[in-house]
Structure 1
Amino acid sequence: MQPVCLEAGDAVELGEMLGFFGQWLASDRAVLRASLRRFVGTEGYDAEMLRADVLRFEFLLGTSDGESLFGDDGP
């Protein structure tokens, strides 16, 4: 896979969008859990897994300190 380069401003904007999306996923878990299950069509991927993926991408972009991903004992 070829590496993808983002300008710093674009990376920050993407990270902020991921942060917003992650907060939304945590806001109303019961409704979102049911909606995602219908959308995905299986129970193999749930809202918590999706939120963990979003938090990881946000951290990898450098717009998060990883606290919500790793907790207080993270790197």
Structure 2
Amino acid sequence: MSEDAPICSAKGCRAAAAWVLAWNNPKLHTPERRKTWLACAEHREHLARFLDVRGFLKDVVPFAEWEARDAPPTG
């Protein structure tokens, strides 16, 4: 894994990110705002539960799919 490769947001984890957890705190953010945490396969459920219990979790998307959403159109 290269040093600039996205890594999991779980404390102490250095694994490659495989998932994007999109969330927002409705007390702080406008409804359309999305913050993101990255997760490896091992920590995806734990991080998603943490956000979901608080009512913050909006979406869980494979990292490659999230990146494709942000890529400029080609052609």
Normalised by the length of structure 2, the TM-score is 0.30
User: Based on CA coordinates, which of the two structures has the bigger radius of gyration?
Assistant: 1
Query: Which structure has the highest strand share of the two?
Result: 2
Query: Which structure has the highest helix share of the two?
Result: 1
Normalised by the length of structure 1, the TM-score is 0.30
